[in-house]
Amino acid sequence: VYSKRHEYGKNLVDVVSAEIALDSKSDFLYLTMRSAYDDRIMQKTSPGGRILWSKETRAPTKWAVAMRVGPSGNLYIVEAIETHKRNTSKLSTPG
């Protein structure tokens, strides 16, 4: 089990499992992470894009992360998208 703690907004989120796959068409590596969200920090986005915090659901969150291999051989995260919702909340790292 892959485990990592990362900061999401003002809250720390535990990543409890991850899967990785290679897209041969784009040469992107996709990492899907499942996070054990506390129900107090479940994020919801209204149609107008406003972020709403809700206690209505305790379902785990799935992230799809696109990564590329840099010139030095390091993996860089291009973007991370929440896949269990219609909105596309994104995380990114330098590089």
Q: What is the mean pLDDT of the chain?
A: 51
Cα torsion angle, 79, 80, 86, 89, sign: negative
The DSSP secondary-structure symbol of 35 reads E
According to the model, what pLDDT value does residue 45 have?
44
In three-state secondary structure terms, 73 is coil
pLDDT in tens, 9-52: 444 455 555 566 666 676 555 555 555 554 333 444 444 544 44
Q: Where are the domains of the chain?
A: 4-86
